[in-house]
């Protein structure tokens, strides 16, 4: 999903379903102390009288509609106030949520039958039923909804989805009903897949697949999810204060109608947006915040080195420069290669970020997915390593082919202090190493950056992606021709063919599928220089040591707050 994103010090342990492990997932190996979560929930420690948490966020919430949202801040919030069939627990295991049990499969694993708990309710008292899932999925695939994730997640996987997407605005209500999901009864859901999906159980933890109450959504009309009062909740918490996408503060309160409310200890969480890392650190030191995110600057991190308040981890998120090929100059392969090779990534991570991030000469992150205990990254090559001399040669050749001596690009970046530092470094590197290049810098809020990206109103854009599910494909199918997340006009039929093969014919052949995805990565980066990976991010959080049970996730939403307990 689109990043602003945080994750974890110890490389997170991905414990997947047996089918996923056999096909293409696997499990990351712990390399540090035991993860916070249910494992280290307080035993003998006394709980504080007041179970209220104060958290700083670095971005506003762009959307609270689970079928419209497309970013990590939105999805993390949605996953704490709502719940789908499954969720990740604190140890990265896929566990039943609204579902009563794990799916039952037919012989070829193309039909899933899922029983639902009978005691799950919405915050207005209505029961959560199988029809709520059918409605939400149909709404997500309906072209009129303009969901990004609905077509992206379901087309080619859930029966009928691809055909519905192809009809665009001509899709009828009857067409929408052909989607491969049906309510057998109020508490039984049946999902029909086009073919086996190796990562289906981790897939179903994602918020796009959450239920929605049809009667409530339709009663709200255009106001649905515009603020806290126009949303229903079925998760551990509910939003009691949120005034919409521009709000810089919001509040969770314990949801007493949640089916597992007896095991939720926190009564309230107060969130405030702080885009200045030093201000965030100061607020934490002053006791105004219990969790402070994204200490990305070395000078600030150094203030807390050696403290048990500082938690650092490398997450499986990749940050890159996207190059929009709608611009004729960026359609030129030599120009793209020049840009991709010009930035000193090591200097970026060592001197600008200086927070433990890793220079990325790859698309699929390190220590993310495994096959037979072998890391995807460790079994293939690296690409587009910084080479300023080669970059200049490609640049000169590209200028000659275009018949110009100078080029100007509009560069879209973020408005946080860390983003501004990173973007300034990129500007300096590119303009210094590629004579004749001028960048017009646009520093914009996260929601606006997403909008500019979706509308392709940029030439170069600094962004990133964190995994939605536990498989390399979450990074690979973004770049299919015409794909929902492509948004840079990249198109290569050979790449499309490789991704299609990995999704279809090779879905039950894990070794061949693995090699095919690695070949696709090489084509995308080394041959086509379709985008320029910069770094795999390390996250530095400040967490009050009295806060126990804070769970961070390796894919999908970043955090779960439901297991937190505050000790004296």
DSSP annotation string for 524-540: IIIIT--EEEEEEEEEE
Structure tokens at 400: 């000659």
Q: DSSP code of 152?
A: H
pLDDT at position 299 is 74
CA 197, 199, 201: angle at the middle one, nearest 5? 105
Structure tokens at 111: 């039909």
Q: What is the pLDDT of residues 537-553, one digit of tens each?
A: 998 899 999 999 999 89
Contact call for residues 408 and 440 (beta carbons, < 8 A) = yes
Q: Which is nearest to 112 in space by CA: 123, 104, 100?
A: 104
CA 229, 233, 239: angle at the middle one, nearest 5? 50
For the chain, the first-to-last Cα distance in angstroms comes to 37
Q: What is the pLDDT of residues 370-384, one digit of tens each?
A: 898 899 999 999 999
With cut-offs at 50, 70 and 90, classify the pLDDT of residue 296.
Answer: low
The arithmetic mean of pLDDT across residues 486-513, rounded, is: 95
Beta-strand relationship, 291-292 and 437-444: unpaired
With cut-offs at 50, 70 and 90, classify the pLDDT of residue 22.
Answer: very low
Torsion sign (Cα): 477, 478, 479, 485: positive
Instruction: List CB contacts of 482: < 8 A, sequence separation 6 or more.
Output: 491
pLDDT at 33 exceeding the cut of 50: no
Q: What is the pLDDT of residues 304-360, one digit of tens each?
A: 988 999 998 899 999 999 999 999 999 999 999 999 999 999 999 999 998 899 999
Contact call for residues 192 and 158 (beta carbons, < 8 A) = yes
Q: Which residues pair with 111 in a beta bridge?
A: 192
Q: DSSP code of 548?
A: E
pLDDT at position 85 is 99
Q: Kindly report the pTM of this predicted structure.
A: 0.80
Residue 195: strand, helix, or coil: coil
With cut-offs at 50, 70 and 90, classify the pLDDT of residue 9.
Answer: very low
pLDDT at 12 exceeding the cut of 50: no
| Sequential DSSP letters for 309-377 | TEEEEEEEEEEEEEE-TTSGGGGSHHHHHHHHHHS-HHHIIIIII-SS-EE-SSSSPTTS-EETTEETG
pLDDT at position 276 is 86
pLDDT at 480 exceeding the cut of 90: yes
Beta-strand relationship, 104-105 and 181-185: unpaired
Count the helix, strand and coil residues of the chain and give each as a percent rounded to the nearest 5.
Answer: 35, 20, 45
- Compare 417 and 529 and report the one with higher pLDDT: 529
pLDDT at 19 exceeding the cut of 50: no
pLDDT at 18 exceeding the cut of 80: no
C-alpha span between 567 and 527 (Å, rounded)? 54
Contact call for residues 461 and 444 (beta carbons, < 8 A) = no
- The mean pLDDT of the chain is 91
pLDDT at position 418 is 85
pLDDT at position 6 is 35
Contact call for residues 243 and 111 (beta carbons, < 8 A) = no
- Residue 314: Cβ within 10 Å count: 23
- Rg for the chain (alpha carbons), in Å? 23
- Domain 59-273, CATH homologous superfamily name and number: Dipeptide-binding Protein; Domain 1 (3.90.76.10)
Q: DSSP code of 508?
A: T
Residue 107: strand, helix, or coil: coil
Torsion sign (Cα): 429, 434, 438, 443: negative
Q: What is the pLDDT of residues 190-243, one digit of tens each?
A: 999 999 998 999 999 999 999 999 999 999 999 999 999 999 999 999 999 999
C-alpha span between 132 and 148 (Å, rounded)? 20
Q: Which is nearest to 367 in space by CA: 378, 359, 357?
A: 378
Instruction: List CB contacts of 225: < 8 A, sequence separation 6 or more.
Output: 63, 64, 65, 68, 231
C-alpha span between 499 and 223 (Å, rounded)? 38
Q: Using N-to-C axis directions, what is the helix angle for 333-342 and 388-402, rounded to 10°?
A: 150
pLDDT at 36 exceeding the cut of 50: no
Domain ranges within the chain, ordered by starting residue = 59-273
The arithmetic mean of pLDDT across residues 53-80, rounded, is: 96
487 half-sphere exposure, CB direction, 13 A CA radius: 21
pLDDT at 425 exceeding the cut of 90: yes
- Compare 470 and 335 and report the one with higher pLDDT: 335
Structure tokens at 422: 């990173």
C-alpha span between 315 and 8 (Å, rounded)? 6
Residue 181: strand, helix, or coil: strand
pLDDT at 263 exceeding the cut of 70: yes
pLDDT at position 294 is 63
C-alpha span between 120 and 118 (Å, rounded)? 6
pLDDT at 467 exceeding the cut of 90: yes
With cut-offs at 50, 70 and 90, classify the pLDDT of residue 27.
Answer: very low
C-alpha span between 220 and 41 (Å, rounded)? 40
Q: Which is nearest to 377 in space by CA: 364, 389, 390, 388?
A: 364
pLDDT at position 44 is 64
Q: Which residues pair with 441 in a beta bridge?
A: 411
Beta-strand relationship, 370-371 and 407-414: unpaired
Share of the chain above pLDDT 90, in %: 83
With cut-offs at 50, 70 and 90, classify the pLDDT of residue 43.
Answer: low
pLDDT at position 297 is 66
């Amino acid at each position: 999903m689109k990043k602003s994103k945080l994750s974890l010090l110890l490389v997170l342990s991905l414990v997947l379903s047996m089918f996923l492990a056999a096909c293409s997932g696997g499990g990351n190996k712990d390399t540090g102390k035991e993860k916070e979560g249910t494992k280290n929930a307080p035993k003998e420690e006394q709980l504080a009288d007041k179970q209220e948490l104060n958290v700083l966020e670095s971005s506003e919430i762009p959307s609270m509609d689970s079928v419209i949202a497309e970013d990590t801040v939105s999805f993390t919030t949605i996953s704490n106030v709502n719940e789908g069939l499954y969720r990740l627990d604190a140890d990265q295991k896929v566990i039943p949520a609204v579902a009563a049990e794990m799916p039952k499969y037919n012989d070829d694993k193309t039909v899933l039958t899922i029983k639902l708990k009978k005691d799950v309710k919405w915050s207005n008292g209505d029961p959560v039923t199988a029809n709520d899932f059918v409605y939400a999925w149909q709404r997500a695939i309906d072209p009129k909804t303009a969901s990004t994730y609905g077509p992206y997640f379901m087309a080619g996987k859930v029966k009928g989805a691809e055909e519905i997407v192809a009809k665009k605005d001509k899709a009828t209500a009857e067409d929408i009903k052909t989607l491969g999901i049906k309510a057998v009864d109020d508490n039984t859901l049946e999902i029909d897949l086009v073919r086996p999906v190796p990562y289906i159980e981790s897939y179903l933890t994602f918020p796009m697949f959450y239920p929605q109450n049809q009667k409530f959504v339709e009663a709200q009309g255009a106001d649905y999810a515009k603020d806290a009062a126009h949303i229903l909740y079925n998760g551990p918490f509910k939003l009691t204060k949120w005034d919409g996408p521009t709000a810089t503060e919001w509040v969770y309160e314990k949801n007493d109608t949640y089916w597992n409310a007896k095991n939720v200890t926190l009564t309230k969480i107060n969130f405030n947006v702080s885009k200045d890392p030093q201000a965030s650190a100061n607020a934490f030191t002053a006791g105004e915040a219990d969790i402070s995110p994204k200490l990305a600057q070395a000078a600030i991190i150094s203030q807390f080195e050696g403290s048990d308040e500082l938690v650092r981890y490398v997450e499986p998120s990749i940050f890159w420069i996207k190059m929009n090929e709608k611009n004729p100059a960026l359609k030129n392969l030599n120009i793209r290669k020049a840009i991709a090779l010009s930035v000193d990534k090591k200097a970026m991570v060592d001197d600008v970020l200086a927070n433990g991030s890793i220079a990325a000469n790859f698309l699929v992150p390190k220590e993310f997915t495994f096959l037979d205990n072998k890391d995807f990254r460790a079994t293939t090559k690296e690409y587009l390593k910084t080479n300023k001399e080669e970059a200049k040669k490609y640049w000169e050749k590209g200028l000659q082919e275009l018949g110009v001596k100078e080029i100007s690009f509009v560069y879209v970046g973020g408005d946080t202090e860390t983003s501004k530092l990173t973007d300034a470094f990129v500007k300096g590197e590119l303009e210094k190493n590629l004579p004749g290049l001028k960048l017009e810098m646009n520093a914009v809020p996260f929601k606006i950056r997403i909008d500019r990206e979706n509308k392709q109103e940029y030439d170069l854009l600094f962004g990133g992606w964190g995994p939605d599910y536990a498989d390399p494909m979450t990074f690979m199918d973004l770049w299919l021709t015409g794909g929902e997340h492509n948004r840079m006009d990249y198109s290569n039929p050979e790449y499309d063919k490789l991704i299609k093969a990995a999704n279809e014919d090779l879905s039950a052949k894990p070794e061949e599928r693995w090699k095919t995805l690695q070949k696709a990565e090489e084509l995308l980066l080394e041959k086509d220089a379709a985008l320029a990976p910069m770094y795999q991010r390390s996250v530095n959080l400040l967490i009050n040591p009295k806060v126990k049970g804070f769970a961070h996730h390796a894919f999908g939403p970043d955090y779960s707050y439901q297991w937190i307990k505050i000790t004296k």
